[in-house]
């Protein structure tokens, strides 16, 4: 069944440092199979996937073809799936995807490419599926199958409920799958409802399978599939039955596995060999928080036997000189120190009378809050922003990208209409602008770039919303900055790579403001990866400004898409019910993202709901650990801590 020595993992797993290394390795495996078959003068039958996961694999295959002479002449491909119905030339078809990302760039024979046909009429589908199955067998069966995994646990488009013996067929897409795809389709209503997919049975017949999952967003489903029970609720778990499957992860997507979540459990079973855990304060914190949650007791009530029964005896020996009370206290104290209502320091001996009403400078600091999109600041740290301005600090908010892509056309038209009506009174040619916007909306096809006037008004909508929200948190107007970083401005969900121009803009603003403290988004699972690129730009620039700003302290926030693990948090800022409510009001200023955002990801809640529930959940977790019962907490992790943990 499987050959791992880790009893928690039911599929062999390989973890790489990042998705690039993982993809290069996978491409190397594919290339070896192709070459082996070439040496035997046999065709090589590959099952291929689409989606964000295999893109870098295909890039590397193209490089191997162009630079190292890898030939695809003997390769026959079968793609897993295709939306239905969909024209081949649609930018969203997998036909288009495969040609754009692989086939157009290698020497594969056109007649050897097979992709389920999204242009059939419904009555033809059954025959087509049978033909597809037969053709795979006729060509000798799949030598290799590459898979990604959906958040529902689907492989191909085999959604929950699919059976282990299923074959190629028409399937109705799960709502969650359609929500996941909605960002590239500009709204869930544009995502096809059906797909033609190879079945689980078809996939399991492949001689070798590599399934890959990258990014934090895949953590949960990857660990469920690797460690959970086989169930048609998570179709990928059927891979546990396959004799030659490898699950490829990178550091972020692997974190949900027991080997990272609770490595002491493996050690307790003698599975870590000489890799005995060396506990320090950070691993002790992780262990104690885990234990407290596992046994459902506050930290200070944990007993020796709780540690013993859960593989953590060694922690007591190493950190508590054999005394669990010492471990409890050490971790409890460490955690109490991270909770502070004074995020930029300067806590006075007694509360100033004006604390809740007017600004009072208390060891005034200069602060930059970098917000990737125009609403991340208030969604993720609106409460802390308000505290910072209340406490008299000079708070600058720097919006990194315009975020214009996320505005619906109908909102753009409404604002052009407002302009038209207003200009009737104040003069100017609002009518002409309105007509241009209207025309650009009418002539645009799905997935095409917005015309210049349409893109402009969308930028303005988001800019004015951001200004209104920042003012609401007490930030002064002259301290609100918009960078409109060029990497974002492609008009499409695929962005340019970060360039020198982007970095220069980020560096200039830091040097201009000369901050003591920086806040940046460490929430990296947003649908288009924009947060990741924005953080990259800051990380690239910080070493360059170190000399001028030696005491600069950088903290990362999260909020809309994910939350920090408690053991990593370096600062937790409590919010009162009123402060939480004010934060909600600030988020409401982002009207274009309210009710139904263009890019919701797979969470159907509005941004204010997600953020409130995360902040309240953190408070609940602290309460369960034995701390004061706060209403809500916003969490931050110091950049230095993450660098030390090797997590960036």
| Burial class of residue 644 (count of CB atoms within 10 Å of its CB; 0-12, 13-18, 19+) | exposed
> Which string of x and - marks every residue 32-61 that binds ligand F6R (by CB under 6 A)?
-----------------xxxxx--------
User: What 8-state DSSP symbol labels residue 522?
Assistant: -
Strands (E), 436-544: 480-482, 517-521
Distance, in Å, from the CA atom of 592 to the CA atom of 350, rounded to the nearest integer, reads 42
Smallest separation, CB 127 to ligand F6R (Å): 22
Site for ligand F6R in 111-150 (CB under 6 A): 148-150
User: Which lies closer to ligand F6R via its Cβ, residue 213 or residue 380?
Assistant: 213
Smallest separation, CB 197 to ligand F6R (Å): 7
Smallest separation, CB 204 to ligand F6R (Å): 15
Among 157, 279, 564, 588, binds ligand F6R (CB under 6 A): 157
CA distance from start to end of the chain: 35
251 near ligand F6R, judged by CB under 6 A: no
Give per-residue burial for 463-500: e unless 16+ CB within 10 Å, then b.
bebbbebbebbbbeeebbbbbebebbbeeebebeebee
Helix (H) or strand (E) holding 614: helix 607-625
199 near ligand F6R, judged by CB under 6 A: no
User: Which lies closer to ligand F6R via its Cβ, residue 202 or residue 537?
Assistant: 202
Site for ligand F6R in 56-95 (CB under 6 A): 80-81
Distance, in Å, from the CA atom of 80 to the CA atom of 334, rounded to the nearest integer, reads 50
Q: Is 468 left (phi over 0), alpha (psi -120 to 50) or beta?
A: alpha
C-alpha distances (whole Å) from 43 to each of 72, 131, 141, 208, 486 are 10, 20, 11, 15, 45
Nearest residue relative to ligand F6R (C-beta): 148
154 near ligand F6R, judged by CB under 6 A: yes
Which residues participate in catalysis according to the annotation?
159
Smallest separation, CB 275 to ligand F6R (Å): 32
User: Which lies closer to ligand F6R via its Cβ, residue 49 or residue 518?
Assistant: 49
User: Which lies closer to ligand F6R via its Cβ, residue 48 or residue 398?
Assistant: 48
Q: Establish whether the linkage from the previous residue to 85 is cis, with ω within 30° of 0.
A: yes
User: Which lies closer to ligand F6R via its Cβ, residue 21 or residue 628?
Assistant: 21
User: Which lies closer to ligand F6R via its Cβ, residue 247 or residue 627?
Assistant: 247
Smallest separation, CB 640 to ligand F6R (Å): 31
Smallest separation, CB 74 to ligand F6R (Å): 23
How many chain residues interact with ligand F6R (CB under 6 A)?
14
Beta bridge partners of 626: none
User: Which lies closer to ligand F6R via its Cβ, residue 61 or residue 469?
Assistant: 61
Distance, in Å, from the CA atom of 513 to the CA atom of 147, rounded to the nearest integer, reads 47
Dihedrals phi, psi of 171, to nearest 5 degrees: -135, 150
> Which residues have CB under 8 Å from 590's CB, separation 6+?
374, 375, 378, 462, 465, 466, 469, 607
Q: Which residues in this chain contact ligand F6R in the complex, by CB under 6 A?
A: 49-53, 80-81, 148-150, 154-157
């Amino acid at each position: 069944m499987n050959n791992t020595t880790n009893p928690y993992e039911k599929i062999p797993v390989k973890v790489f440092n990042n998705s690039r290394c993982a993809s290069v390795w996978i491409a190397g495996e594919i290339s070896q199979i192709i070459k082996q078959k070439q040496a035997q003068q046999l065709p090589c039958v590959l099952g291929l996937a689409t989606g964000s996961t295999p893109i870098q694999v295909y890039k590397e295959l193209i490089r191997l073809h162009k630079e190292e002479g890898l030939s695809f002449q003997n390769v026959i491909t079968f793609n897993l799936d295709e939306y239905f119905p969909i024209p081949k030339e649609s930018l969203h078809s997998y036909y288009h995807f495969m040609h754009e990302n692989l086939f157009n760039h290698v020497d594969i024979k056109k007649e050897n490419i097979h992709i389920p046909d999204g242009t059939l009429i419904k009555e033809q589908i059954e025959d087509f599926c049978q033909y597809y199955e037969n053709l795979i067998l006729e060509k000798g069966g799949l030598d290799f199958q590459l898979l990604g995994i959906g958040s529902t646990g689907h492989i191909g488009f085999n959604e929950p409920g699919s059976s282990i013996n299923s074959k190629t067929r028409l399937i109705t897409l799960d709502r969650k799958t359609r929500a996941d795809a909605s960002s590239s389709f500009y709204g869930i209503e544009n995502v096809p409802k059906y797909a033609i997919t190879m079945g689980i049975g078809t996939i399991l017949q492949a001689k070798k399978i590599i399934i890959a999952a990258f990014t934090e967003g895949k953590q949960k489903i990857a660990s469920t599939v690797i460690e959970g029970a086989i169930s048609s609720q998570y179709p990928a778990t059927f891979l546990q039955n396959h004799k030659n499957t490898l699950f490829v992860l990178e550091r972020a997507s692997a974190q949900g596995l027991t080997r990272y979540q609770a490595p002491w459990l493996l050690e307790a079973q003698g599975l870590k060999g000489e890799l005995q855990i060396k506990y320090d304060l950070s691993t002790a914190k992780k262990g104690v928080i885990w234990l407290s949650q596992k046994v459902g007791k506050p930290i200070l009530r944990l007993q020796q036997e709780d540690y013993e029964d859960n593989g953590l005896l060694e922690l007591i020996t190493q950190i508590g000189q054999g005394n669990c009370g010492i471990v409890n206290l050490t971790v409890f104290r460490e955690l109490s120190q991270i909770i502070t209502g004074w995020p930029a320091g300067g806590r006075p001996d007694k509360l100033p009378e004006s604390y809740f009403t007017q600004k009072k400078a208390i060891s005034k600091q200069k602060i930059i809050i970098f917000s990737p999109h125009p609403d991340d600041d208030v969604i993720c740290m609106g409460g802390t922003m308000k505290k910072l301005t209340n406490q008299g600090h000079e708070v600058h908010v720097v919006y990194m990208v315009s975020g214009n892509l996320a505005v619906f056309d109908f909102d753009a038209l409404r604002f052009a209409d407002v302009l038209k009506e207003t200009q009737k009174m104040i003069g100017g040619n609002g009518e002409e602008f309105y007509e241009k916007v209207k025309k650009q909306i009418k002539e645009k096809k799905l997935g095409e770039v917005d015309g210049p006037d349409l893109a402009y008004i969308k930028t303005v909508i988001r800019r004015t919303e951001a200004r209104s929200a920042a003012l609401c948190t007490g930030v002064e107007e002259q301290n609100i900055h918009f960078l409109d970083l060029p990497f974002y401005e492609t008009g499409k969900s695929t962005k340019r790579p970060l360039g020198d121009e982007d970095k220069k803009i980020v560096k200039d603003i830091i040097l201009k403001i000369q901050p003591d403290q920086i806040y940046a988004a460490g929430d990296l699972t947003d649908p288009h990866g924009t947060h990741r690129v924005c953080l990259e730009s800051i990380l690239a620039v910080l070493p360059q400004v170190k000399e001028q700003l030696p005491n600069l302290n950088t903290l990362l926030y999260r909020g809309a898409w994910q939350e920090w693990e408690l053991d990593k948090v370096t600062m937790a800022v409590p919010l009162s019910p009123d402060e939480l409510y004010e934060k909600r009001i600030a988020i409401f200023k982002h009207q274009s993202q309210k009710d139904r955002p263009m890019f919701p990801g797979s969470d159907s809640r509005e941004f204010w709901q997600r953020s409130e529930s995360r902040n309240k959940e953190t408070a609940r977790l602290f309460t369960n650990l034995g701390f004061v019962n706060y209403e809500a907490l916003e969490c931050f992790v110091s950049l230095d801590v993450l660098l030390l943990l090797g997590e960036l």
